[in-house]
A = this chain, B = another copy of it.
């Protein structure tokens, strides 16, 4: 898997995350600027938090305007075609899951590159993948979705463990990446299909 393919999927993941932000913000009747802000926060919030905690500054999306153009494209397309976009639920779900997996792996790799331990790296991967959505929900004054009901953050954690195990087994990085993303897609699809949920504390 050449590095460019990772980049392409990262951009697609950014697009899908931005659409999810637009969709939340539109349902709260925010105006176009409010919608754009939520789209940005959803798409780049997780990576921003990760970079700031690790100490990678300026934060990475600030150095590559393609992320910005992608988010504006998502907002622009949504302005005209949001109902149609939302009908592509199955497609969006797959790209959202690919985004989730890729963001988790990229975050994990960045943390390892900064000399952090595997445990912290898995946490940073999970932060990258899920905190955009958390910030989206906080800004919309809702309880973050990831706190209940669906498996989401836990899938990133399991995906991160699988990724590190495969790397440890000296399987080449791109094979590992593809395998992990597939694993995450399957795990998430199963979790949605069979309505898996996690126990609560009483």
Contacts and interface: CB of A to CB of B under 8 A. Distances in A.
Interface of A: 22, 25-26, 28-35, 37-38, 48, 52-55, 57-59, 62-63, 65, 68, 78-79, 82-83, 114, 116-117, 119-120, 123, 134, 138-144, 146-149, 151-154, 157, 197-202
8 nearest A-B pairs in the assembled complex, by CB-CB distance: A55-B57, A34-B147, A31-B198, A30-B147, A26-B201, A141-B143, A33-B154, A32-B198
Contacts of A62: 53-54, 116, 120
A28 B152 CA distance: 18
Contacts of A143: 28, 140-141
Give the number of times this chain occurs in the complex, counting copies.
Answer: 3
Nearest to A25: B147
B31 A197 contact: yes
Interface centre among A82, A147, A153 (most CB of B within 10 A): A147
A148 B33 CA distance: 8
Nearest to A23: B201
A141 B139 contact: no
B148 A29 contact: yes
Secondary structure type dominating chain A contacts: helix
Given A37-B146, A68-B120, A139-B144, A199 B32 contact: yes
A112 to B, nearest CB: 12
B149 A139 contact: no
Contacts of A22: 201
A11 B156 CA distance: 27
A146 B34 contact: yes
16 contacts: A31-B149, A31-B198, A32-B199, A33-B198, A34-B146, A35-B200, A38-B147, A53-B58, A53-B62, A54-B58, A62-B116, A68-B123, A78-B201, A82-B202, A141-B141, A141-B143
